[in-house]
Amino acid sequence: MPELPEVETTRRGVEPYAAGQTVQKLVVRNASLRWPVPAALPRLLRGQKIEAVERRAKYLLFRTPTGTVIIHLGMSGSLRVLAADDPPAKHDHIDIVLESGRCLRYNDPRRFGCCLWLPDGESHALLEGLGPEPLGPSFDGALLFRKSRRRKGPVKQFIMDGKIVVGVGNIYANEALYLAGIRPDRAAGRISLARYERLAMHIKQVLTSAIEQGGTTLRDFVGGDGKPGYFAQQLYVYGREGEPCKQCGRMLKKSTLGQRTTVYCVACQR
């Protein structure tokens, strides 16, 4: 599943081609995504100027004077910049055709993503109640410590809760906890402020590093320029169960937390 770095990589990939462009038309080949593409969206978007391309959590936001197109890549989606006359391939469900002759083409084999419309001045349930951005100034160890008090659930699920902090998906939660030396199954409420400060620092570090390197290489992910990311080469624990820990040499263990694969080192993480 594309995580925050993959979505940010896509945003940076498409922004130079989309920002400032007027939408010539919207082509919807298959409206049956996780939520149906609104039937009125082609009419609402036609002739609108894309003023900005933003990201909130894992949502891409295309701002126009009258509203915002909300795109989520789901489990297998990608958004690429192509010539508008390029023949569509299988699973190419939506084209945002721009006056430049290019299009933003949304491909989603599993159709778990979405393309929705948010009228200007209104709010959307998908964006309400979200926690702070992990790379923003309001996210730090003190926030994690404060929100974790009396929580008995595992710290890994705690930092993956979008109401606590957005965009810390499974891969990067594994990595940040390893670097912070914290066992993923430790109760969130039993972790000290100092350890949360270290964890927050490493969450920022792994996400920043992944963004700089173009996102994690996932089978289904394709960046805005059609190139996959390369951060997977530097993963410490995710996908490495049964292999030696890069710090101590002991075999990494695998477990399941919240139905998600969790890999950790019993010696380096406490």
74-127 pLDDT, tens digit per residue, is: 988 999 999 999 999 999 999 999 999 999 999 999 999 999 999 999 999 999
Catalytic residue list contains 243: no
Q: Is 260 a catalytic residue?
A: yes
On whether the pTM is more than 0.95, the answer is no
Q: Is residue 129 part of a domain?
A: no
Going by the annotation, the residues of the binding site for DNA are: 91, 110, 151
- Please state the domain count of the chain: 2
Q: Are residues 96 and 154 in the same domain?
A: no
| Residue 38 annotated among the catalytic residues of the structure | no
How far, CA to CA in Å, does 207 sit from each of 6, 123, 160, 161, 216? 10, 27, 13, 16, 10
Percent of the chain whose predicted confidence (pLDDT) is above 70: 93
Q: Does the pLDDT of residue 229 top 80, yes or no?
A: no
Q: Which residues are annotated as a binding site?
A: 91, 110, 151
| CATH code at position 243 | 1.10.8.50
| Residue 33, in any domain of the structure | yes
Check if 58 is active-site: yes
Give the domain range for residue 19. 4-119
Q: Are both 146 and 245 inside the same structural domain?
A: yes
Chain segment 160-172, per-residue pLDDT in tens = 999 999 999 999 9
Are 108 and 149 contained in the same domain? Answer: no
CATH number at residue 9: 3.20.190.10
How many contiguous H segments (helices) and E segments (strands) does the chain have? 6, 10
Q: Which of 55, 58, 102, 198 is catalytic?
A: 58
Between 248 and 225, the more confident residue is 248
Together in a domain, 25 and 81: yes
Residues 153 and 209 in one domain: yes
Q: Same structural domain for residues 18 and 63?
A: yes
Residue of 2, 5, 154, 228 with catalytic role: 2
